[in-house]
Amino acid sequence: MQGSGYGGYGNRSPVMVMSPRLVGNALPSYGGHGIRRQMIVMKPQQIAGTIQPQGQLARSVGASTSPLVVQKTATTEQPASKGFVRPAVAAAPTVYKPQPQAYQDPGTMLSCTSLSQWCSGEAEKSQGLCVKRAIDPRRWQPVVDRLVNEMQEDAEGTISMVSIDLNATEEECQQKFRKAATIVSQNLSRVSDLAKLVYQDALALTDTTHKLLPQAKKILVKLELFGESVCRRWHRDNYVSRAIVSYNCSATQYTPDSNVDFWELEHCGNNDCIIQDKSRILSADVGDMVFMKGLTYPGKAKALIHKSPELKYSNGKVVTRLVLKVDVMDLDDVGGES
C-alpha cells in the first residue's frame, strides 16, 4: 500500500467483504496470490463449536495431502519465554540483544510493561503502544522456512484468518477469542512452543483490542507470511488499529511525526524524501507486541507513521517473516480485510 492507504499491502490482498452466504464457511482458495487461504467469520450461533477448524485448516498451509511436518529439533523444542530466549543452536555464540533505540518524541510509541497498560490513560497519548518481549530473530526461522517450503511458489500471504463478530455478550466474545486463537495457531501445532505462543498472543491481543475499542463490531485475526510483498513505503494506516507481532527476522519500523515531511508522505514522495533524519527511524524487535493506531482511531493520538522492515536475504533468497495481526478496520459493521 502506498501513502495512507487501506492496509499497507495494496499490491497483495484485495479488500474482501464477506457475503452472508460465506458466513461460517471456510474459503479454501481465494485471492490474487494463489495462496491457499482461509477466512472464517464467527457468528454468535457458531461459538458452541460448529466450526471445525482443524479439518478446514488442513487446506490452508501446504497441499491438503501434505500437512505441515516440522522436524523436532532443539530449535523448535525450547520452552516459550516472554523474555530473552537463548538461541537453540548450541554452536551459535551470539547472545541476542534488542537493538538500542534512538530518541523518539513523547507520544510516538509508549513502552509498556504489560498489555493492561494499553488501556491506561497514559496510553491514550501515544500513537503506538509496545510491550517489549525480545525473542531471538533466528529462533523460529527453521519453522518459517519449513512453512515456506510447504507452500512452494506461493510462499507468502495469509495462512489463516478469522473475522470475529463482536455483536455478542462478553462471555461469547471471550469464547470467540479463544476459538480464533486456536484456529490461527492450528497450523503450527506440530511446533508446540510456537503454536502455544501464537495462541497466547492472539488471545491476549484480541481481548486487549476489544477492551481498547469496545465499540468495534469486528476484529480480524490473521497469521501471515511476508516475503517480497511488503509495504516498504512509510505510511499511516487508513483504518482504526493493528496489533502486530513478528516472530522471526525483523519487525515493524516507525518514526515520530517530527521526523517526517508530510507533504512528501501524502504526495507519493519516496522514503528518502519522507524521512528527515534516518537516525530517528525506530524499530520494534522480533517478539514485541505492538499496537499501531490508524488514521481513524478514536482519540487525539493516532496515525503512527510506519513501514515494514527492510528485506533481508539469505543465500540469495528473501527471508520470509511470520507475522500475527489483530486488526480493527472500522468502527461500523462493514469491516473487511486489508
For binding to Fe ion (CB under 5 A), which residues are involved?
8, 237
Phi and psi at 186, nearest 5°, equal -60, -40
Task: Compute the least distance from the CB of residue 250 to Fe ion, in Å.
Answer: 15
Task: Compute the least distance from the CB of residue 244 to Fe ion, in Å.
Answer: 9
Q: Which is nearer to Fe ion, 136 or 237 (CB)?
A: 237
Angle at 249 between CA 270 and CA 274, to 5 degrees: 15
Strands 218-226 and 157-165: antiparallel
Q: Which is nearer to Fe ion, 8 or 335 (CB)?
A: 8
As beta bridge partners, residue 318 has 313
Instruction: Classify each residue of 235-250 as buried b or exposed e, where b means 16 or more C-beta atoms within 10 Å of its C-beta.
Output: bbbbbbbbbbbbbbbb
Q: Tell me the DSSP string of 187-224.
A: GGTTSHHHHHHHHHHHHHHHHHHHHH-TT-SEEEEEEE
Task: Compute the least distance from the CB of residue 84 to Fe ion, in Å.
Answer: 28
Task: Compute the least distance from the CB of residue 237 to Fe ion, in Å.
Answer: 4
Task: Compute the least distance from the CB of residue 49 to Fe ion, in Å.
Answer: 34
Q: Which is nearer to Fe ion, 8 or 31 (CB)?
A: 8
Measuring CA to CA, how many Å separate 135 from each of 77, 85, 87, 140, 265?
A: 15, 6, 9, 9, 32
Q: Which is nearer to Fe ion, 191 or 225 (CB)?
A: 225
Angle at 299 between CA 298 and CA 300, to 5 degrees: 140
Task: Compute the least distance from the CB of residue 217 to Fe ion, in Å.
Answer: 21
Q: Which is nearer to Fe ion, 8 or 309 (CB)?
A: 8
Q: Is 337 exposed, middle or buried (0-12, 13-18, 19+ CB in 10 A)?
A: buried
Which residue number has the CB closest to Fe ion? 8
Q: Which is nearer to Fe ion, 156 or 237 (CB)?
A: 237
Q: Which residue has the cell 520494534?
A: 284
